[in-house]
Amino acid sequence: MSMTYRMVVLAVGVVSAGVAWGKDIEPPRKVDRFQDEWDKVNFSHALLTDALHEFVDQDGLLDYDGLRKNRKFNEYLYRLANTDAAGLPSSEAKMAFWINAYNALTIKGAIETRGFDHRFWSDYSVKRVFPMDVDEADRTFFRGLKFVVGGERYTLDEIEKGVLLGDAAAAGERLSLFQAAGPTGRDSRIHLALVRGALGCPPLSRDAYEADKLDAQLTERAKAFVLDKLRCRIDAAKKLVEISQVFEWYAADFSNPQVAPNVKSVFEFLAKYVDDPVLRKSLTEEQWQMTYIPFDWMTNDKGHLKTQTPGEGGAEQPPRP
């Protein structure tokens, strides 16, 4: 498989690399250091946690090159490719599995599509990846690249919407496969756990998600988000919330009482995770305004010197089904 770089001159005069890439991202091949057998029912995410602790910093920024060469990360990808999530014992186990898979495969996709030429890394963004041999509407990182999980090929969009969120339109003819492999309920907090390889995302957790502590981990992600002034600013005096554009894209999930944590508005969602009882009461009972912070699509690589403020990377929405 080959990769070609198309040089694109941006309006501001900066030269960037647009990446044309084949649609299939292959999992790592088995090497002698990989274990031959592992528990595919009580699937362990310890390999991923070990890799993230070594190559993700406290701000959630990644050392992509370190992960590319890391044995544990590659063995984890190999196990994902050869483990059928339908055999996992609970909805929580399936949700944890797929959140981890999404994040790990996003990293894998970024590693493969940015290539090994350091000259292009500082300007890399998943929004500049254009997979070939797919319909024009699917020529994006999230809808065009396909990864192997349990012997089946999935796009990241299919994992998020078809498997984790149970969206029948996203699943299409593979609905029964997605339903068997995925969790039984929706949880809007996953939008704060899925990391799209960009600075606009909530920081990547350094601990893989685990079935037996999934609710606590998702709650921790939500609380951390509320305290994150880059992505969530609550001004009690002005009754104004400035919040990540993720909450605009997925407003239907964050304000649906049928979706965990079962609230009717974004303000109620935030109220669940603020510590101040006065602010909590105000968010649920008084009139507030909301504006959205444009999403920054520059890569979340800790080796990339970030000189932009949030939003300068562009505000394009991930493709919706």
Q: Note the pLDDT tens digit of each residue in 87-113.
A: 999 999 999 999 999 999 999 999 999
Contacts for 225 with CB less than 8 Å, ≥ 6 apart: 192, 202, 231, 232, 244, 273
- Measured distance CA(67)–CA(74) in Å, rounded: 8
Does residue 300 form part of some domain? no
Question: Tokens standing for 163?
Answer: 């498997």
Does residue 130 form part of some domain? yes
Q: Let me know: does 110 contact 292? Beta carbons within 8 Å.
A: no
**Residue 10: predicted pLDDT:** 26
* Residues forming a β-bridge with 130: 20
**Residue 138: predicted pLDDT:** 87
* 3-state SS class at 101: helix
Count Cβ neighbours within 10 Å for each residue of 47-56 and write b for 16 or more, e otherwise. Answer: bbbbbbeebb
Domain boundaries, position 183:
4-293
**Residue 122: predicted pLDDT:** 75
Q: Following CA atoms 6, 11, 13, 17 in sequence, which dihedral angle do they give, to the nearest 10 degrees?
A: -20
Neighbours of 165 (CB within 10 A): 21
The pLDDT of 56-69, averaged and rounded, is 95
Full-model pTM: 0.88
Residue with structure tokens 């400035």?
A: 242
Does residue 309 form part of some domain? no
The pLDDT of 120-139, averaged and rounded, is 85
The least confident of 160-174, 204-218, 296-310 is: 296-310
Which of 271, 270, 248, 250 lies closest to 259, judged by CA? Answer: 250
Confidence band (pLDDT; 50, 70, 90) for 4? very low
Residue 286 exposure: Cα atoms within 13 Å on the Cβ side: 15
* 3-state SS class at 19: strand
Does residue 211 form part of some domain? yes
pLDDT of 152 strictly over 70: yes
**What is the domain count for the chain?**
1
Does residue 313 form part of some domain? no
Does residue 155 form part of some domain? yes
- Measured distance CA(154)–CA(160) in Å, rounded: 10
* 3-state SS class at 187: strand
- Measured distance CA(279)–CA(173) in Å, rounded: 46
- Measured distance CA(78)–CA(148) in Å, rounded: 9
Does residue 138 form part of some domain? yes
Mean pLDDT taken over the chain: 88
Confidence band (pLDDT; 50, 70, 90) for 133? confident
Does residue 258 form part of some domain? yes
- Measured distance CA(24)–CA(132) in Å, rounded: 10
- Measured distance CA(26)–CA(311) in Å, rounded: 33
